[in-house]
Amino acid sequence: MVCNIAVNGNQMCGQPVRSQIALRRHIRNAHPGATLNPFCTNIPQAERIAGENALKQWILSRGWRTACYVKEPGEGPMYSIIQDCCNFLEQLAQEDNDFAQQFGTKFHCPICDPGIYSTYSLPQISPLPSEPPTLLSAPKRKRAPLKKGYKATGSRKQPARAKKDAAKLVPETV
């Protein structure tokens, strides 16, 4: 799932989340007051079907593909309703030319350059060195000093404890 709360005029948040619980937590923490945070328990089947149909219609009408996000979600979370629906529609478009001509062949949200839509920019990544680092160039780690009571043989055994008399531990019954 993806957070679709409007944050900058025509931009939406775009934070991908894995579950309804995580989405409600994100909305509550990142966008307080933006919307009512509904409960997910006891949702009538008709309401659930209507919500899924609205989501499918939004994907089919290219709303998902052309949506503008602050945090670009790409294809969205794995195994989500959006991803499953987009996969199905793209497969249907490959098999049915009439469907492809009417609705297109791409339904997943493309991965866009965030600099186009927002003031956020990705950090510059330094180029990789031409040679891989060698084992000799890595600094050697120092061993921690041994604690009192341990032998220097490298074993990590606990110091011996005094044994208690077993007869004293058993309470007497009267």
Parse the chain into domains and list their residue ranges: 2-37+44-103
pLDDT by residue, tens only, the chain of 174 residues = 788 888 877 788 888 888 878 888 888 888 887 777 666 667 788 888 888 888 888 888 888 787 777 776 666 666 777 788 888 888 999 999 998 998 888 888 776 544 444 444 434 444 555 555 555 555 566 666 666 665 555 555 566 665 555 555 555 665
The CA distance from 38 to 126, in Å, is: 44
Q: What is the per-residue pLDDT for 80?
A: 75
- Global pTM reads 0.48
